[in-house]
Amino acid sequence: MSSTLINSNQISALILAGGRAQRMDGCDKGLVSLHGQPMICHVIDTLKPQLELIRINANRNQSAYAALAQDLEETDKVTRGIPGYEVVGDNLQDFQGPLAGIAAGLQQCPTEWMLIAPCDTPFLPANLVERLRQAAEREQAEIVVAHDGKRLQPVVALLQRRLLPSLLGYLEQGERKIDRWYAKHQCRPVDFSDQPEAFLNINTLTEKQLLENQVV
């Protein structure tokens, strides 16, 4: 186990944008425009006040993500004075699922803990990192996962970098189920039932359009 206290500088984020997005008619979810900007930018805008280091897991359109990252970096040099957003691709071929992206992120993770969040959940809580961090401290857990009051949100989680060997071994066995891997470790849910709408994810272009048509 790591020490009881977890400082914010021990945490970096990985935004998962590496899937096929088949239900999105093959469009790259992170780059799909929502309210005038790429969907991944909504996630970044939420995480930026919470963490300094944010990386992007992408397997398609990496040049587009790199260009987006460069633009964000130029802005952040002015507003925050810190470096920008590295794009990390899966080491496994053929879109092996979120665990492949998590493994790639952990292999290059510069911090003891890594937050994961999906690119298609644009309304994440403004206190996401703090609540997950506190739960990890309180529970002495290796993984803490957001729970919206009805269901677990397995790709909104905080996990220890030292779990990488376990994850690589799991993947080498041909396993891909994220919940089964979590069950092998000290994994605890974190209650976010006070803001379940924060975990709304957009899977289709129709859902995106309906959301944009709503009066905000």
Q: Is 76 annotated as a binding residue?
A: no
The span from the CA of 213 to the CA of 200, in Å, is 16
Q: Is 90 annotated as a binding residue?
A: yes
**Helix axes 39-47 and 128-139, enclosed angle (nearest 10):** 60
Q: Is 120 annotated as a binding residue?
A: yes
| Burial tier of 94 (Cβ tally within 10 Å: 0-12, 13-18, 19+) | exposed
Q: Which token pair is 61?
A: 């359109």
Q: Is 29 annotated as a binding residue?
A: yes
Beta bridge partners of 144: 158, 188
Q: Is 16 annotated as a binding residue?
A: yes
Inter-residue contact 211 to 202 (CB < 8 Å): yes
Q: Which residues are annotated as a binding site for GTP?
A: 16-18, 29, 57, 90, 120
Q: Which residues are annotated as a binding site?
A: 16-18, 29, 57, 90, 120
Q: Which residues are annotated as a binding site for Mg(2+)?
A: 120
